[in-house]
Amino acid sequence: MKKKKIMVIVGVIAVVLIGLFILPNLFGGKPTVGPEKNANTEDLGIEYFEVPDIEQVYINGVVQPEQAEAFSKDAKMTSTPEIKVNNGDVVEPETILFTYEDKEITKEIESQNNTLSKLATKKQNIYKKWNRAIDNYNKTKAEERNTTGAAIDEQHQAEVDSVDEEILFSNETIADLSTKQFISTKAKFKGRVSIPEVKDENAPILRLTSDGLYVAGKVNEKDLMKIAVDQKANLSVVSNGTSVTGKISYIDDNPPETKATPSESSSAEGSMSTYNVKLSLDSLEGIKNGYHMQATINLGDNKAIEVPKKAIHEQDGKKYVLVNDFGSVIRRDIQVGEEKGENIVVNSGLESADRIILSSKKEVKEGDLIGESKDETGEAAPIAAKE
């Protein structure tokens, strides 16, 4: 009985194996496993335009304002600064940004003002006494007068003059103190005001940044001698692909002073110095302070790249091409120039040896995985833009 069951089980297994492997081969089929059914070997009949392969230097950097200053609270001041500008204001040089009040000087000014009030009262009393003396003089008979009217006037005028000197001194003291009562901080350059929303002890009173931006990057010693000031560059924002043109505006002759750790100094990478590089931007459209960008410097022939118009797509006002990047379709935003017949000049956005997709028999869009084989029709169809 057991032997009979074993024979049945063996028979079932044999039928399954025949169904999976032998029959498909007899009829020319191939076994498939999982959901992938020739997805990467399907021939899409893609036509390419190849960007010339030239030597390039890449510089990674961060967008920074040409001028920037953060104003911290003065620890010596006991008062809270009074901000004279608003968040987002664009101010000119010498504009007062904020002021401190020196409380001690304010107390001295108050004391001098009190002195002035007392002196004014004293002066009024002198005039009253003077008038009474004149009245008494006029009421006294001539033979009984022991002084002259002129003497009375001289005496009281001297008292008034003395008080006037004290008043003058107090006024001069107040004027001098008033110039020191408020300490103002002014803008040194034209810029935009940024006032932190959260006020804590570490937050600056405000920041001032110029509207002009540049890219601060680094280049290693291997590529240092390949680049030069005023050399043209194509730059793209790492996060969104926005591309602009620019040029190298500054190259530092000396590496930053840093102390390498023993592990760094023992390796080739760690022993290679880097040098600061600044790149100016021809346009600031779509560029923000803090963006990470990659600059591409072409070292070969700087002849403009002309790309067929049919390879260029547009979405939301941005022009782009689709590129076969090692079997994946990616999008490169580009900046274009003049048209030349069926072609158009691409000023920036492309990389050396890019394989730009011109057309295909089936719709190809960003993110697709594509193959190299041919299908049966051989007919090419326009590539649809990604929605």
pLDDT on residue 382: 42
Query: What CA dihedral angle connects 317, 288, 210 and 59, to 10 degrees?
Result: -110
Please tell me the distance from the alpha carbon of residue 308 to that of residue 341, in angstroms, as a whole number.
9
pLDDT on residue 329: 92
Q: What would the pLDDT profile of 233-274 be if each residue is shown by its tens digit?
A: 989 899 988 888 899 999 999 998 765 554 544 455 557 899
pLDDT on residue 332: 86
Q: What would the pLDDT profile of 284-335 be if each residue is shown by its tens digit?
A: 988 999 999 999 998 876 677 889 999 999 998 888 999 998 889 999 888 8
Query: Counting Cβ atoms within 10 Å, is residue 345 exposed (0-12), middle (13-18) or buried (19+)?
Result: middle
The first and second tokens of residue 319, run together, are 């022009």
Mean pLDDT of 75-95: 91
Model confidence band, residue 100 (pLDDT cutoffs 50, 70, 90):
very high
In the chain, the percentage of residues whose pLDDT exceeds 70 is: 80
Model confidence band, residue 370 (pLDDT cutoffs 50, 70, 90):
confident
Please tell me the distance from the alpha carbon of residue 187 to that of residue 94, in angstroms, as a whole number.
5
Torsion sign, CA atoms 360, 362, 363, 364 = negative
Which is more confidently placed, 333 or 97? 97
pLDDT on residue 43: 66
Q: What would the pLDDT profile of 156-166 be if each residue is shown by its tens digit?
A: 999 999 999 99
